[in-house]
Amino acid sequence: MTTMITLKIAVFGGGCFWCTEAVFKRIKGVMSVTSGYAGGKDPQPTYEEVSSGMTGYAEVIQIEYDPSVISYEKLLSVFFAVHDPTTLNRQGADEGSQYRSVIFYTSEEQKKSAQEAIMKVDNSNLFPRPVVTEIKSLSTFYTAEDYHTNYYDSNRSQPYCRLVIDPKIDHLKEKFADILVTV
């Protein structure tokens, strides 16, 4: 008898989607990670439009995951560990509202988990400033252009990948070794 796996969706924005895609595709139970845009109003945004910071969209990733292998709460733990959720509209040198820290929820359960995770991070004193991560209902997700897919894995020698993404992957290996897959 074949067992059906019911996948769930998580949508996070934590700076450049090249970084977050590279991190989350290395997690057990994550079936796919798609770079894209959420949070704006105009239909079919392009990278150039979103990069202007004027569209309301954030660079995000849509994660399809198996909740029998990894929980939404564990995904949130990884999310908060691999970016700075206390900087408004900025991650490192990437600046603008398109790089904001944001969680787009798809259910009231996800919303509650996100609120609890933020409270936990704030109470942990892990960061010297309070969390500014937005929590918003996901209305629409637009997939980014093809050349953004697997950017890190296809461009590891690029300076941005070596200087920005490599340290995130190293931190992931150090902090979450028990949930990593080999990519």
Active-site annotation, residues:
16
Residue 99 main-chain phi, psi, to 5 deg: -105, 15
> What region, left, alpha or beta, does residue 15 occupy, with left being phi > 0 and alpha being psi -120 to 50 degrees?
left
Q: Give the Cα separation of 93 and 140 in Å (integer).
A: 27
Chain length of the chain: 183
